[in-house]
A and B are shown apart, each in its own frame.
Chain A
């Protein structure tokens, strides 16, 4: 079964600084990988996903992530943080049949002015 580990339950950066949120996965088959964002009292919104092809994927709001099979990682980055990026971020993995998606515990991003 697939699983996800997000390193760091809370990350704090200054506005304009680099954002790096870490995600490592475990999967017995080639995975589909996702990053979702959740704002308070809202559902989850897809930021980006990796299915096949190019290992560097770009998402909304300037975020991108790189699939590294050798490291079983899918870290999320953004070159310059904005105050509006403050939210909870979840990494998720599913098998290619998408019978179920497994989420990490989440990383809360705080952006300081």
Chain B
């Protein structure tokens, strides 16, 4: 059973550059989430997908941020024109939500990847 994988694990970029993170969820999971975590804080919800549909976006997700999950499997999170305030750990999680093809009840548990750490210089 492979867990949630994220790539790259670390990214250092200069202010103004674009960056893209990829997340591969657990294969049978229909829900995928992005969170942001800054030093000394808990994860903050950014957005989530059920299959390929993006169902909710946080106010934290400015116009410079875009997330996609084109085929309902992997997802990408792109940050355009990065700013120093974007420096954080970006966490991806997946879950088996209600309405899944597996037909199992929603246990509510999220399975997290190891994160992608972004440093903007």
Query: Are B45 and A106 neighbours in the complex by a CB distance under 8 Å?
Result: no
A9 to B45, CA, bound (A): 20
A97 to B33, CA, bound (A): 14
B61-69, B71-79, B106-114: which lies at the A interface? B106-114
**Which residue on chain B has the smallest CB distance to residue A51?**
B108
**Which residue on chain B has the smallest CB distance to residue A36?**
B112
Query: In the complex, which residues of chain B have a beta carbon less than 8 angstroms from the beta carbon of A102?
Result: 45
A90-B43, A106-B41 in contact; A51/B48 too (CB < 8 A)?
A: no
A11-19, A41-49, A68-76, A78-86: which lies at the B interface? A41-49
| Residue among A32, A43, A104 making CB contact with B108, cutoff 8 Å | A32
Interface digits, B7-45 against A, CB 8 Å rule (1 contact, 0 not)?
000000000000000000000000101010000111111
User: 6 A-B residue contacts at CB 8 Å?
Assistant: A34-B109, A43-B113, A45-B112, A51-B107, A103-B35, A103-B43
Query: In the complex, which residues of chain A have a beta carbon less than 8 angstroms from the beta carbon of B117?
Result: 41
Residue positions of B touching A, CB distance < 8 A: 4, 31, 33, 35, 40-45, 48, 55-56, 91, 93, 95, 97-98, 106-115, 117
| Residue among A36, A43, A90, A100 making CB contact with B48, cutoff 8 Å | A100
Query: Are A94 and B56 neighbours in the complex by a CB distance under 8 Å?
Result: no
Q: Is A99 an interface residue (CB 8 A)?
A: yes
Query: Are B110 and A101 neighbours in the complex by a CB distance under 8 Å?
Result: yes
How many chain A residues touch B (Cβ–Cβ < 8 Å)? 27
A98-B97, A98-B106 in contact; A43/B112 too (CB < 8 A)?
A: yes
Q: How far is the CB of A67 from chain B (nearest CB, A)?
A: 13
Central interface residue in B91, B110, B115, by most chain A CB within 10 Å:
B110
Query: Are A100 and B45 neighbours in the complex by a CB distance under 8 Å?
Result: yes
Q: How far is the CB of A53 from chain B (nearest CB, A)?
A: 12
Q: How far is the CB of B4 from chain A (nearest CB, A)?
A: 7
| Residue among A4, A41, A44, A101 making CB contact with B45, cutoff 8 Å | A101
